[in-house]
C-alpha cells in the first residue's frame, strides 16, 4: 500500500484513507490507493508542489512562500488557486521580471535563497529583500550590461554615450538611460516586436546582428542563408517559396 510522506496518503477511518495532496478520500483498499497514486491528477499535484514551494511533513502540507500550513480539507490545487498564493506569485513575478533572478531552487524547497545571475550572488527569498536587491545601483548596472548585447547597444569612443544599432541613436551612458531606452523608446520597442513576430518559429537568428556592431545580416538556419536584418527583407524571406518549402 502506497502511504506516507512520499504519496500523501494518510489514514482517515477504518474504511478509507485521505490523499492530502489531492484533498480526496479513497477506499482503504490497495487497488484503490494504487489507482489513485498512479493517476495523472495525483502526479500533477506532486509536480505542482515541487514547482511552487509546497512540502509535506508530519502529515501536513506547508507552503513556504505563504508561510502557512494548509488546513485538513485543502488540496495542493486549491491552495495554488487561492488569493494568498496568487498574490505572492504576482508580487514575485513583478519584482523579478527581466531581472535575471532564478527562483527555481527556492520553489523546489532546495534553498531558502534565490540566485541573481547578473550579480552572481544569492539573495534570501523575501519580497522585501528581492525588492531591495533589484533596486540596488550595482544590480541595475549589471542588468544594463547584460542587456546591451541583447539589444544591439554598443560603447562608443565618447564614454558619455552609447550607440543603439537598432535605432541608430545615441543615448546617455548610464544604467537608467539604457534601461529607459530598452523599455520605453517607441522605435526600439516596435522594432523588436515587428522582428520577433516575423521570425517566431522560423528558425531565424538575429543574435549575431545584435551582438556584433558591424554585422548587418540575420541568419536562417533552415535555409542556411543570410538575410538583411530589417522587417521588409525578413518578411520577404519567410514568405518566399524557398523558405516555405523547407517546412513542407
Each residue's pLDDT tens digit, 21-47:
888 888 988 899 889 988 998 998 889
Q: What's the domain range around 56? A: 1-80
The predicted model scores a pTM of 0.76
Residue 205's SS3 state is strand
Helices (H), the chain: 30-37, 40-52, 76-81, 83-96, 104-107, 127-134, 137-147, 175-184, 186-199, 207-211, 231-238, 241-246
Residue 103 corresponds to which cell in the numbers above?
Answer: 527562483
Question: Which DSSP state fits 70?
Answer: P
Instruction: Among 14, 46, 80, identify where a domain stops.
Output: 80
- Asked whether residue 143 is assigned to any structural domain, the reply reads no
- Asked whether residue 142 is assigned to any structural domain, the reply reads no
Q: Are residues 225 and 247 in the same domain?
A: yes
Q: What is the pLDDT of residues 184-209, one digit of tens each?
A: 999 999 999 999 999 999 999 999 99
- Asked whether residue 151 is assigned to any structural domain, the reply reads no
Q: Are residues 95 and 121 in the same domain?
A: yes
- Asked whether residue 169 is assigned to any structural domain, the reply reads no
Q: What local confidence, expressed as pLDDT, does residue 6 receive?
A: 53
- Asked whether residue 147 is assigned to any structural domain, the reply reads no
Residue 147 has pLDDT above 50, yes or no: yes
CA separation, residue 190 to residues 5, 166, 182, 185, 186 (Å): 51, 10, 11, 9, 6
Q: Are residues 86 and 70 in the same domain?
A: no
Q: Are residues 50 and 61 in the same domain?
A: yes
How many domains in the chain?
3
Per DSSP bridges, beta strands 225-228 and 153-155 are unpaired
Instruction: Among 101, 135, 169, identify where a domain stops.
Output: 135
- Asked whether residue 208 is assigned to any structural domain, the reply reads yes
- Asked whether residue 159 is assigned to any structural domain, the reply reads no
Beta bridge partners of 116: 101, 121
Q: What is the pLDDT of residues 104-123, one digit of tens each?
A: 999 998 899 999 999 999 99
Q: What local confidence, expressed as pLDDT, does residue 24 receive?
A: 86
Q: Are residues 67 and 102 in the same domain?
A: no
Closest alpha carbon to 54 in 73, 72, 33, 75: 75
Cα–Cα dist 64/56, whole Å: 11
Q: Are residues 64 and 88 in the same domain?
A: no
- Asked whether residue 168 is assigned to any structural domain, the reply reads no
Cβ atoms of 1 and 30 within 8 Å: the answer is yes
Q: Are residues 76 and 7 in the same domain?
A: yes
Cβ atoms of 107 and 51 within 8 Å: the answer is yes
Amino acid at each position: 500500500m502506497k502511504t506516507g510522506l512520499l504519496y500523501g496518503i494518510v489514514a482517515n477511518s477504518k474504511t478509507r484513507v485521505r490523499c492530502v495532496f489531492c484533498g480526496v478520500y479513497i477506499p482503504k483498499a490497495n487497488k484503490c490507493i494504487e489507482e489513485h497514486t498512479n493517476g495523472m491528477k495525483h502526479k500533477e499535484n506532486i509536480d505542482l508542489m515541487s514547482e511552487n514551494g509546497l512540502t509535506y511533513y508530519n502529515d501536513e502540507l506547508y507552503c513556504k512562500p505563504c508561510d502557512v500550513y494548509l488546513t485538513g480539507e485543502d488540496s495542493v490545487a486549491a491552495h495554488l488557486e487561492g488569493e494568498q498564493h496568487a498574490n505572492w506569485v504576482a508580487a514575485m513575478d513583478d519584482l523579478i521580471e527581466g531581472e535575471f533572478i532564478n527562483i527555481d531552487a527556492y520553489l523546489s524547497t532546495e534553498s531558502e535563497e534565490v540566485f541573481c545571475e547578473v550579480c552572481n550572488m544569492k539573495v534570501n527569498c523575501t519580497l522585501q529583500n528581492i525588492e531591495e536587491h533589484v533596486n540596488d545601483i550595482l544590480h541595475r548596472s549589471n542588468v544594463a550590461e547584460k542587456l546591451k548585447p541583447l539589444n544591439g547597444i554598443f560603447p562608443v569612443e565618447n564614454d558619455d554615450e552609447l550607440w543603439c544599432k537598432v535605432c541608430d541613436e545615441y543615448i546617455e551612458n548610464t544604467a537608467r538611460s539604457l534601461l529607459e531606452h530598452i523599455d520605453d523608446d517607441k522605435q526600439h520597442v516596435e522594432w523588436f516586436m515587428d522582428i520577433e513576430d516575423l521570425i517566431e518559429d522560423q528558425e531565424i537568428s538575429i543574435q549575431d546582428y545584435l551582438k556584433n556592431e558591424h554585422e548587418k545580416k540575420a541568419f536562417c538556419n533552415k535555409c542556411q542563408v543570410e538575410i538583411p536584418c530589417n522587417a521588409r527583407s525578413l518578411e520577404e524571406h519567410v514568405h518566399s517559396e524557398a523558405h516555405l518549402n523547407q517546412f513542407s
